[in-house]
Structure 1
Amino acid sequence: MSLLFSPPPSLTGLSLHPHVHFSPSMSILRRLPLNLRTTRRRRLATVSAALRQDTAVWTPAPLSEVEHAAESLFHIAIDVSDAPDLAASHTLAGQYLQLRVPDAPKPSFLAIASPPKLAAARGVFEFLVKSVAGSTAEALCALKRGDVVELSQVMGNGFDIDRIHPPENFGTVLVFATGSGISPIRSLIESGFDAGKRSDVRLYYGARNLQRMAYQDRFKDWESSGVKIVPVLSQPDENWTGESGYVQAAFSREKQISDPLTTGAVLCGQKQMTEEVTSILVADGVSADKILKNF
């Protein structure tokens, strides 16, 4: 999938009595043994999270494109032109939503890959979806143009680019993505964050090999906007002459941070990568407040 957090737990199989109350008094909890109190609180948290999920407003929308984007990755476009309020709610790169597919057991969380201006101009949301066996994502990728799915409201605060503005004060912006984590990074680059006005903008983009690297057809346009692309392959073939290994290792070898006080970063992808890159940047003097994530 193209998102980096776990969705709320499902309520499948949980039966609720119509007169159950979810606000037990503290006096009752105090009389329960500690392990029962902990179990009860966890169960109440599960119920609460699922009930919040059930309050989502679902909008049906047809697929307008289903195409291979790379090995195991699909480009999915959804027509939201008949839902202008939903289209208008996508305002920032890095935002996401939930998607339901008929007969799938639970919704999937997906980051929106297209820039907000695409929804405003054409009424389209685009996604980069990794097909995982047995998942809602696999069911989605098996659908055809014209098939209808359901979308929740757009959620999340996206990438808070204001924290690394104005561009003259943050000349260096280091962007890191792995796998389908490139999805909201595409939205950011194509939304524009004044890359051309900054002195050093680099995208370290990690994938297993070139066959699994999406959006290669967009690299030329991204570079023309001021973003230097640094592909990093963890399992390249013998003809590969670029960076290899993991993104964090490739960055450690290169670094070249001229001034940490004028450096910002944007991260999206595998948890280990984001944690290790964050540690490297902070150790080198980059403010944690200038390291942006979309969750």
Structure 2
Amino acid sequence: TFPRLFTAPPPPPFARRRPPPSCPKYLPNQSLIMSANLLLPLPVPSPAATHAQLSFPMSILRRLGPRHLTSSHLLHRRHLSSFAAAAVARQDTVAWTQAPLSEIEPVAESLFHVSIDVSDHPDLAASHTLPGQYLQLRIPEVDKPSFLAIASPPSFAASRGAFEFLVKSIAGSTAELLCALKRGNVVELSHVMGKGFGIDQIEPPEKYPTVLIFATGSGISPIRSLIESGFCAKQRSDVRLYYGARNLKRMAYQDRFKDWESSGVTIVPVLSQPDNSWSGEAGYVQAAFARATQISSPAGTGAVLCGQKQMAEEVTSILVAAGVSTDKILKNF
């Protein structure tokens, strides 16, 4: 989640309105229209109409604080000075594209597979060029967007006209609202962002025969994009994916492991709280890696990391101590 640069008091309820749904792109957080130093208040739809458009369970809406809801959901009593405060609020210049959900289904505990149809927006689909890139997703009438890594490979958007995501449902978040939507509901997408994984840093495969990949939880999402994009894994001698989760119920993409193994990636599942029947690696990813065979050729080793901050920091320390160059340790941010 990216923090706001600063916070200003919300404007009066009559000073804010979104364009009609027919508008595919617009500037979303414009509370006031500023022209010739004048502040022009705009009418807003009725609260009843707003809630009808959202169609979220009230149990979810109650958990959302004022920061998550537009001023059309709330009635404010503000002094006229709120106009001045609103005038200096950060202007959001993101261009939003409306697109419908084509699939949404649970794939693990608290994790959902989400597919969004972008076939009517070829420029947006074509902007996904590298595994590890992400975008912002926003639900109409909810201000706070979510940053989501794209799980599908770049070629998928071009051939299928869709973006796929792995979304963790967190109580009180935009992600929770997203996971409560249905097929056909419309969401808003920003342009594709980020440098992705700089896989060219660990090519050609003959020079970097060892690639170690580390992921925890929903951090497996951009790793899926990397593996299914293809990075010459079969031409390398040692490609391992250490994938950490609490237990098997929280481990997504198990149905893809066989295909990933066929592409040349050895899967090492690591469970922090396994049940008694588990015979694989237990504990945390960084500990499982530390117990593994030492790196024989640091100069020919690359790594890709995505997941919990502590895991990434500790794995990076282990790799650097073993002699792996920091510019060969790839992250997508």
TM-score, normalisation: structure 1: 0.85
| One of 126, 149, 168 as aligned partner of 1:88 | 126
What is the correspondence of 1:73-222 to structure 2 with a 5 Å cutoff? 73-222=111-260
**Which entry has the higher C-alpha Rg, 1 or 2?**
2
Pairwise CA distance, 1:8: 4.1
Q: Secondary structure at the match of 2:142?
A: coil
Matched residue type, 1:175: I
Matched residue type, 2:237: S
CA distance in 2, matches of 1:101, 1:240: 40
Deviations 1:195-218 (A, max 9, x none): 010000000000000000000000
CA distance in 2, matches of 1:11, 1:190: 41
CA distance in 2, matches of 1:249, 1:142: 36
Q: Which runs of 5+ in 1 are unaligned?
A: 20-46
CA distance in 1, matches of 2:305, 2:331: 5
| One of 245, 254, 262 as aligned partner of 2:292 | 254
Matched residue type, 2:134: Y
Select the structure with the greater relative contact order (CA < 8 A; seq sep ≥ 6).
1
For 1:245, the equivalent position in structure 2 comes to 283
Deviations 1:256-287 (A, max 9, x none): 31201100000000000001100110001000
Q: Secondary structure at the match of 2:212?
A: strand
Deviations 1:145-167 (A, max 9, x none): 00000000000010000100000
CA contact (8 A) 1:7 1:108 kept: no
| One of 317, 321, 325 as aligned partner of 1:279 | 317
Deviations 1:71-105 (A, max 9, x none): 00000000000000000000000000000112323
| One of 9, 15, 37 as aligned partner of 1:13 | 9
Cα distance change on mapping 1:290 and 1:222 into 2, 3 Å: same
Deviations 1:1-57 (A, max 9, x none): xxxx535447563569966xxxxxxxxxxxxxxxxxxxxxxxxxxx79x43xx1111
1:268 aligns with 2:306: yes
CA distance in 2, matches of 1:71, 1:186: 18
Q: Secondary structure at the match of 2:223?
A: helix
Range 75-84 or range 255-264, more displaced: 255-264
Q: Secondary structure at the match of 2:302?
A: strand
Q: Which runs of 5+ in 2 are unaligned?
A: 12-30, 38-87
CA distance in 1, matches of 2:285, 2:305: 11
CA contact (8 A) 1:99 1:108 kept: yes
Pairwise CA distance, 1:255: 3.8
CA distance in 2, matches of 1:137, 1:146: 17
Matched residue type, 2:2: S
After the TM superposition, which segments of 4 or more aligned residues of structure 1 sit over 2 Å from their partners? 5-19, 102-105
CA distance in 1, matches of 2:101, 2:8: 27
Pairwise CA distance, 1:69: 1.1
For 2:100, the equivalent position in structure 1 comes to 62
CA contact (8 A) 1:182 1:268 kept: yes
For 1:33, the equivalent position in structure 2 comes to none
CA distance in 2, matches of 1:10, 1:94: 28
CA distance in 2, matches of 1:206, 1:128: 15
Q: Secondary structure at the match of 1:272?
A: helix
Q: Secondary structure at the match of 2:175?
A: helix
Pairwise CA distance, 1:120: 0.5
Q: Secondary structure at the match of 1:241?
A: coil
CA distance in 2, matches of 1:58, 1:172: 40
